[in-house]
């Protein structure tokens, strides 16, 4: 049976500039991680880098969407309420992800 864990990552109210700093730093770290994975796969001549390239595209799209929301809130001088959790599932079988 798989175990389920939830960890709160971000919770609270943020000014637009604060929200931008927090959220973009997470996304940029994920993009750097995926870029390193691509480099590693390509250096070793291995297949499999495509999933990391696809993930970078998804992260860029998320970043653009977040930027739109933040810019809209900046224009209206609004505060953002951000709630983010990480779901961790302990699998009984090992998979390479």
Domain ranges of the chain: 17-79
Q: What is the mean pLDDT of the chain?
A: 92
pLDDT value, residue 68: 98
What's the whole-model pTM score? 0.82
State the Cα torsion 27-84-82-14 to the nearest 10°. -60
How much is the average pLDDT of 5-13? 95
For 9-40, give one letter per residue: b (16+ CB within 10 A) or e: eeeeebebeebbebbeebeeebbeebeebbee
- Percentage of the chain exceeding pLDDT 90: 77
pLDDT tens profile 26-48: 999 999 999 999 999 988 888 88
Confidence of residue 66 (pLDDT cuts 50, 70, 90): very high
Confidence of residue 21 (pLDDT cuts 50, 70, 90): very high
Tell me how many degrees the CA angle 84-25-75 measures, rounded to the nearest 5: 80
Find the helix packing angle between 16-43 and 50-75, rounded to 10°: 170
pLDDT value, residue 84: 96
pLDDT tens profile 67-89: 999 999 999 999 999 999 999 99
Q: Comparing C-alpha atoms, which of 27, 18, 25 is closest to residue 81?
A: 18
H helices of the chain, where? 16-43, 50-75
């Amino acid at each position: 049976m798989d175990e389920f864990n939830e960890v709160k990552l971000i919770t609270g109210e943020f000014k637009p500039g604060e929200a931008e700093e927090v959220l973009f730093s997470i996304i940029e770290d994920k993009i750097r991680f995926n870029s390193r994975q691509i480099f590693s796969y390509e250096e070793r001549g291995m297949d499999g880098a495509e999933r990391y390239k696809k993930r970078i595209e998804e992260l860029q799209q998320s970043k653009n969407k977040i930027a739109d929301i933040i810019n809209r809130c900046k224009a209206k001088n609004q505060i953002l309420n951000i709630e983010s959790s990480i779901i961790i599932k302990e699998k009984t079988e090992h998979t390479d992800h």
